[in-house]
Amino acid sequence: MNKADEVILSIPSDVACKLWGVDKAPTNVMIHTDDGQIFNVWLTESKGNFFFFQGWSDATQHLRPSKGCLAVFNPLDCITFKVTYFLDGVSGSSFWTYLLRTSSHFYVIPEVIMPKTFNTSIDVISTIMIENKTFHIMIEMADGKFGFTVGIDVIVRLLQLEPGCFLIFTKYFGNYFNLKFFGKNDVEKNFFDVDVDVPSVAPIDALHEIYEEPHGPVHWFSRMAGTDFMLPDRVSEMAKLDLGLEI
């Protein structure tokens, strides 16, 4: 998200098509923020693409986006969006990070997400939900930080994800997390978007739990502040080196 995006913001074409079909967009939508503010935002169209226009600048002035922040838009219905704003990589009980290359499997969990009573003496297995599917991922400690490690590779293979996609983890209770993936087109990626085969790498255990959980629309989308790839401040130096970023 650059300065121009604070005035007029493009809506991914895949999202617009799923929400409204072709050339059927409404004239305006309602933007709800996490702190209860509501903004009436008008849409404009150019060369088949739709944009948040009049009223969107009021929303950005309220959110005060900074370089490296992330905004995720969840359509509540065809004319209402809930926007979640991530500051320093964290929003409430959720945090985001970039998908790393396969040579690195340590995804730092911010300290504010981990419970104060978390046992630091042993490694634990976390349960991660994607839609209604269950995965078991190791949580380990390195350099004084906790992170997800073994087991992420199973999810990456199943969803055919590439470096540059990013992940949003939401903590529920105990070691349970919900996970959403966003592709390079800024649109949420799910099991309906790919041909899911048997994983080519084994999971870290043989558990096959079934945990039903309501999930929202499949066409969330997001926008980053800044033109360069940015990692949350709390991501380890190892992860930054893996992406080839200066530290």
Selection from 224, 229, 223 nearest residue 81 by Cα:
223
pLDDT in tens, 118-155: 665 666 888 999 888 889 998 888 888 888 888 888 88
* CATH top-level class of 9-87+223-234: mainly beta
What fold characterizes domain 90-193?
At1g16640 B3 domain (2.40.330)
**Which residue ranges does the chain devote to CATH 2.40.330.10?**
9-87+223-234, 90-193
What pLDDT is recorded for position 28? 93
Indicate if the pLDDT at residue 233 is higher than 50. no
pLDDT in tens, 169-228: 999 888 889 999 888 788 888 776 665 554 444 455 534 444 344 444 445 666 565 433
Residue 225 Cα distances to 59, 61, 97, 189, 209, angstroms: 14, 14, 14, 20, 38
pLDDT in tens, 78-99: 899 999 988 888 998 999 988 8
pLDDT in tens, 22-59: 767 899 999 999 899 999 999 998 888 899 999 999 99
Beta strands 124-130 and 176-182, pairing class: parallel
